[in-house]
Amino acid sequence: MKYGSWLWMVAIALGVVSDVAAQPLSFLTEQQKLASYCAGVSESRLRELGDLVKNDCANSKRRDCVKAGDDLGKAQIMDRRLWSYLNDLYTSKDFGSRQKMLSQQAMGKGSEDWTACKRRPPGQQADDLPVCRESLGCLIDVRFSFLPP
C-alpha cells in the first residue's frame, strides 16, 4: 500500500511539473522589453519623419530634408528588424497573452517617451530628461546586435 501511494504521489507531482513546464512564461526578456520599447519609439519617429518629408520637404534639396530622408530610410530598416524579432512574440503559441500585453505596454511607453522628449521646452537639453535619454537610446545601433539583419 505504501509503495502504491508513493508511486501515485510521484505521478501526480510529475504531472503538475510537466503542466507547469508547458505553460508559457509570463514575463519578457530584457531583449524583448528593449525591442518592444524601441518599436514604440520607432513608430512615433517614423510617423514624425514621414510627415516632415511628405509635408515640408517635398522635392526639396535642403540639407535638413536630405538628412530627414536618410534618417527615414534608416528608421524603416530598424523598424523592420525590430518587428522581425518581435514577430515570434506575437505569432508563436509559446508566448501567452500576458507577454503580448507587456510588450504592447512597453511600446506605448516608448511612443509616449519619444513624444514627451520632442515636446520638451526649447532651451532644455535632451540629456536632462530621463525620457529623452531612454528614447534616444533606441537610436544606438550597437544595442541591437541580437536583432536579425
pLDDT in tens, 74-101: 999 999 999 999 998 888 887 888 889 9
CA nearest to 30, candidates 109, 81, 136, 106 = 106
Tell the residue number behind the cell numbers 500585453, with chain if given: 101
Alpha-carbon distance of 12 to 14, in angstroms, equals: 5
**Cα Rg for the chain, rounded, in angstroms?**
23
The pLDDT, as a whole number, for residue 4 is 52
pLDDT in tens, 108-120: 999 999 999 999 9
CA nearest to 116, candidates 104, 105, 132 = 132
pLDDT in tens, 27-79: 889 999 999 999 999 999 999 999 999 998 888 889 999 999 999 999 999 99
CA nearest to 147, candidates 93, 51, 83, 95 = 83
**HEC profile of 8-72:** HHHHHHHHHHHHHHHCCCCCCCHHHHHHHHHHHHHHHHHHHHHHHHHHHCCCCCCHHHHHHHHHH
pLDDT in tens, 123-149: 889 888 999 999 999 999 999 998 988
